[in-house]
Each structure stands twice: as structure tokens, then as C-alpha cells.
Amino acid sequence: MNTEILGIIAMFGITFLLAIPLGKYIAKVYGGEKTFLDPIFIPLEKLFYKISGINPSKEMTWKQHLVALLSINLLWFLMSMAILMNMSWLPLNPDGNPSQSADLAFNTTISFLVNCNLQHYSGETGISYLGQMWLMFLQFVTAGIGMAAAAVVFKAFREKTTTQLGNFYNYFVKSCTRILLPISLIVAAVLVFEGTPMTFNGKDTITNLQGDTVQVSTGPVAAFVPIKHVGTNGGGFFGANGAHPLENPTYLTNMVEMIAQFIIPMAMVFAFGFFIRKRKFGWMIFGVMTIGFWLLAAPNIVMEMNGNPAIANMGIDISQGATEGKEVRIGAAASGFWSIVTTVISTGSINSMHDSSMPLSGMNELIAMMVNAFYGGVGAGILNIFIFIILAVFISGLMVGRTPEFMGKKIEAREMKIAMIIALAHPFLILGGTAIAAAFPSVGSVAISNPGHHGFSQMLYEYTSSAANNGSGFEGLGDNTLFWNISTGIVLLLGRFLPIIGPVAIAGLLAEKKFIPESAGTLKTDTSTFGIMIFAVIAIIAALSFFPALALGPIAEYFSLK
């Protein structure tokens, strides 16, 4: 078997084997059970609570959870704007990088605040070390926010009837200290030993192979990169992101970074099953997500390995695959695999330029973000598929003539209205934003670098990435303009917080209802049949919403190669 394929199997297999025990550990953390890391982190957490005056044992309703979540994000927004707009004279700026303009700081702040990390600047030249460290802090806490929101949903479905859903700050702090930090430290150790820089010195002077003396940016890269993957953030310390040799030096680091970004989203699925004591349901969700993932990943691997037929027709050897925009130390197969992992789980980091992907590979990357429910980001992924589960329960109940019930609670009009608003908001943000950019070429499509179908795909990708909290891009788009900074910033905000507010509200409303014990008439939601129903709902919504736009972009581009 091809060694590149073996590497991909190893990456997925290792992630799967580690995700099950990690899922059990996460369930214990959120359940308040004893874990082996308690002696290390309990004193640290008590210090945080003492300084902040927070009582972590005080129970909250779902509305109080959302108020706390939104309030703390507002504080971080104001702090971030102040730092990014004043970097030029603040400390830790050895390379003299400039401050960001108000619109770029707005976009950067919102992007990192919503766990997206869409970057309209180049990391090594567009931000100081202080700015990088602040963004690293946001990568920890925003990932913790998403995981805390998921923990609220976990709690809602473990209790039969309750209005008390734990403490938001308790879930949030534990997500950062007990889960994100330990895994990030392990990844950082590997990166340092493989050659990733960890310094606060400025640019380094080297002589390249051509004999030229050049300046090479360094910095605290080994601290920044782990949480960008573990927290499914994706922001690059360097402009080239994971394709940069100092951010991702070897095939080993490529594997470690791949596993790092994949493991918590996969583990959260198992954690849900362990936490609510319905492991079979967790396995059913995992099956739906995994089938969807491989239906996107396998074609991308094959297409990138086969290369571009238009280039082959010119008599050029394409035995190494579609190598444009890729790194030889990683290869076409691993790049194709990464392109789907990073879009399926909303990390957004890259190890190749997605703008150079084969047309249908680009389409699959778009579909992964448009669906936004196959694994997804840390915490947010389980929330996204929860909306499709609610829709599937309601539709299935209507089809078989039973009252729609989920986990012993009736699904009624109020929950369905919220679910439909969230399900429709995602395509509305993507297609609405793209339509506005295309309709006003003087501010929108003027930024594209390619005419025709691919240029349309560049705009579609930018809004899809923003709405899905992904952050990757077809980087031929000149997006550092007032229009793109503000418009994507608005999409980023709505694309992040609506899919969090909706599921938490639904879970909170269901938790308040009277528990109905299972009976002969109860719709089984942990079977393969129901899993097929969930998959069908996802496929139908995605196909009906996005196929026309995909036909104008990557599909039309594919046929133009013939």
C-alpha cells in the first residue's frame, strides 16, 4: 500500500483510539468526578476563583449561562481592540510591526473571539509578539467557551427535569485547565524538539542555498501553534500557516498537528454518550459524522494524488499529484486529507494552499463548512449536529405518527422554531454575503484574483469560512479592505453565537419539561435507522441550500478543465 495512504490511516486510527479514553475523561471532568489531574489543577482553579470572586458551585439556568458567555466575550472584545490598535508602541515588538487599522483590528478581534481566526493580515509582518500572545490567549478561552456551552447541553440531557444546569465558569475554567492546556503542552514539546522556534528575539539572519542573506521571522511559535490546533482555532503565526516550515517542520509534526486538531471534536462525541449514560447514542452520532467525513475526505485524497489533467495534457509529469501550492515534505495525499479535516472540524489551518486545490476538492472543502456538523469545532461541533438531530426527531415523529420525543422530552413548536432559525441562518449568511459581494463589484468582487468561476468560488469560500467559524481561505482574495473586514466580521459574529445560543436555549427548554419514560411508542434515537435519518436531513438541507452556488463556482470550473 502507498506509504502516503498508510500515513493517513495512521493519523485517523491513532486519533480514534485516543478519542475514546479522552471522551471518558472529558465526561468525568464535566461530571465533577475525580480524575488523575485533580492534584495539579484544583489548586490552580481555586486561585482563579478566589481572585475573580466566582462561586463555581452556584448553579445557573440556561439564560444565566448565555448572559455570562456573552458578557465575558464583550470584555475580551474591548481588550483586544485596544491591544491590536496600539501594537506599534507597546512592548514585545522587536521587528517593529505596525498597529492595525480600526477595521482590520475589528475583523481580527471578532475572528479570534469567535474561534474562527480568519486572518486578513500576514502573521509575521502584521502583528507584534504581544499581539500574537494575546491572540494565543483568545485561542484558549474561545475554545473553552465552546466546550462550556456543550457541557450545558450535556447537563440538560442527563437530568430528568431541572432548571439548574451547572455553573458556566466552572465548565469554562475546567475546559481550559483540565483539557486544552495538558494536550497543548504535549504538542508543544513535540514541536520544540522538531525545530519549531520558541523565542522572543526578532528576525534571524541566515544565508540561503543561493548564497543570499535574508531575514527570517521567528518568535514564540511553539507556544502559539499547539492551541491553534487543539482548540480548533487555526490562526497561523506565519502568513503561510501550517505550510510554513517553522510552523510545521516535518511529516511527524504534520501528523501531530493533524491529531491535535482532530482529537477533541471526536472525543466530545464520545463524551456526550458517556456523560448522559447513553453510549449507544454517542456511537450512532460518531457513525453519522464519520461516514460524512470520509465521503468528503476520500475523494479529495484521490483527486489531489491524481493531479490536474490539463497539466498532464501539456506533457508534464504529474506522478507526484497536484503539487501546486503544496509542500514536498508533506505530499499531495496528506494535503488532501488535511484540507477536509481542517474544514470539517472548523480549524481552518492549512498545510497547502486551498486556492490551488483541484476544483472538486475545493467543492468538498466548501461542503464540509456548509454542512458544519461532521465533528465540527471543539464544543461547537456537537452543538451543530444537535440542531439536525432535533429536526430529524420532529420529521421522524411526523412520518410514523408519533409525538416527537428526544431523551424523554417532547419536541414542540417553540423548540422547532429555534432549530429552524439556526438551520436557515447558516445558508442565509453565506449566500447573502456572497450575493452582496458579487452585486457590488467596486467593493466586493474587485478583490478576487481570478476571473470567472474560480473568482466566484473565492468569494463564496470567504463567507462560508466566516459563517462556519473556520478561518481558511482561497488566499487569492485581497480581503484586507473595509468592505471585507466589516462584512465578514458581521458574518463571523452571527455564525458563532447563533449556533451556540440556539442549542443551549433548546436544551434548557427541554430540561425544564416533564420527563416522559420510554414506552413502546417512543421513537428510538440510538439506532442506525435514526442515524440514516439524521444524515438524510443534513444532506437535503445542504443540497437544497448550496447546490446552485456550488454549480456556479467549483462545479463549473471542473467542467471547464475538460
Tens-place pLDDT, residues 511-555: 999 888 777 667 788 889 899 999 999 998 888 899 999 999 999
216 forms beta bridges with: 204
Compute the distance between CA of residue 99 and CA of residue 80 in angstroms, rounded to an integer.
Answer: 12
pLDDT recorded at residue 521: 67
Tens-place pLDDT, residues 271-306: 999 999 999 999 999 999 999 999 999 999 999 999
Residues with pLDDT less than 50, the chain: none
Compute the distance between CA of residue 209 and CA of residue 408 in angstroms, rounded to an integer.
Answer: 67
pLDDT recorded at residue 446: 86
Q: Is 319 a domain residue?
A: yes
User: Do residues 250 and 193 lie in contact, with contact meaning Cβ atoms separated by under 8 Å?
Assistant: no
| Domain membership of residue 354 as a residue range | 281-560
pLDDT recorded at residue 281: 93
pLDDT recorded at residue 1: 55
pLDDT recorded at residue 4: 85
Q: Is 27 a domain residue?
A: no
Tens-place pLDDT, residues 482-511: 999 999 999 999 999 999 999 999 999 999
Question: Is this model's pTM higher than 0.75 or not?
Answer: yes
pLDDT recorded at residue 321: 85
Q: Is 82 a domain residue?
A: no
pLDDT recorded at residue 562: 63
Q: Is 276 a domain residue?
A: no
Phi, psi angle pair for 205, to nearest 5°:
-100, 125
326 forms beta bridges with: 352
Amino acid sitting at position 84:
L
Q: Is 441 a domain residue?
A: yes
What's the total number of domains in the chain?
A: 1
Q: Is 187 a domain residue?
A: no
User: Do residues 504 and 479 lie in contact, with contact meaning Cβ atoms separated by under 8 Å?
Assistant: no
Tens-place pLDDT, residues 94-112: 999 999 999 999 999 999 9
pLDDT recorded at residue 65: 95
pLDDT recorded at residue 407: 84
Q: Which residues of 328-363 are buried (b: 16+ CB within 10 A; e: fewer)?
A: eebbbbbbbbbbbbbbbbbbbbbbbbbbbbbbbbbb
